[in-house]
Amino acid sequence: MISLHDSCYQIWTVGFRSTLEGSGNPRNEKKPSSIGFASLSLSLSLSPPRSIGEMGREKGRFMSPPVLLVISLIGFVYYTTVFIFIDVWLGLGTGPGLLNALIFSWLAFMCLFSFFVTVLTDPGGVPPSFAPETEDPQKDGECLRYCDKCSSYKPPRAHHCRVCRRCVLKMDHHCVWIGNCVGYANYKPYIVCVLHAAMASIYSMVIFASSILGKDHDFKGISNKIFYILCGSVTIMLSLAFGSLLGWHIYLLTHNLTTIEYRAAVRAMWLAKKSGQKYHHQFDLGIYNNLIMILGPNILKWFCPAAAGHLKDGTQFPISRVHGQHHPDP
């Protein structure tokens, strides 16, 4: 009986030999055929070094300083908001105080849970079996896209991440705060995390202000002053940061754009306006259809970060039929 290790080694050997045999042909160095591409990608995906590296990255995400800083910050804001400011302002033993504590606890829990889902979810890599369906240089207005770094074709909206060293499906950006790329499979939990982080930050800022204005405080001690200045500064900065980030991604979400695509769309809009034409993003299907593509068709599950049953393989996307000038996927 052939073991899995022997099978993987044979596949890797065949792919390596085919690469060496094809290296004599200059044409095969730039863009391999569909069969050669599939064999090479399959061999690379099954090779032990890459699998071990991916496992190490997944295990080490929570140990990275930015991720630990985010978790610590969530804990700090939660503790000061509930056990200091709400307790001082209303008292946790009262009905209003308990209600505010429960509301903020729910926002903090959803923020933390969505953050964990975003960190642990693979944004999506190009499937080993992916290959262009045709050698025609254009299909449905789309140019065949080839990644020189991965030596393989990539689907529409996929881009190469220099940090992750691979092509990511529908890549939005690489986020250092989650130690991961934001892409096709984890964009929904990322949006849900930003939404609850913005709501929790603004809620904490309101509670902080109400606690300061609603009660008489003794600010004679220097340590007491520093503490309240620090807490006020943190809540204000978090509210501005997450509020702005939420507004930005709501715009992207309703227009079915990624951050990378927006940069290309700005230039495309300028060119269309210069030539007297109207620009329309080719993946913009309308606000409602754009929302259900990311959040899912069931509205009740829109804010559940783990509900991702509506996602497919991330290699194909419907194209808008609205007339206007489109730009090829960069």
What is d(CA 153, CA 329) in angstroms, rounded to the nearest whole number? 13
In angstroms, the Cα distances linking 264 to 119, 191, 267, 269 are 27, 22, 6, 9
What tokens does 217 get? 């405080």
**Enzyme catalytic residues:** 175
Per-residue three-class SS string for 44-74: HHHCHHHHHHHHHHHHHCCCCHHHHHHHHHH
Q: Scan for tokens 């207005």, then name that residue.
A: 141
Cα end-to-end distance, the chain, whole Å: 47
Kindly report the number of other CB atoms within 10 A of residue 140's CB atom: 7
Segments of the chain assigned E as strands: 138-139, 142-143, 145-147, 152-154, 159-161, 166-168, 173-175, 180-182
Kindly report the number of other CB atoms within 10 A of residue 144's CB atom: 15
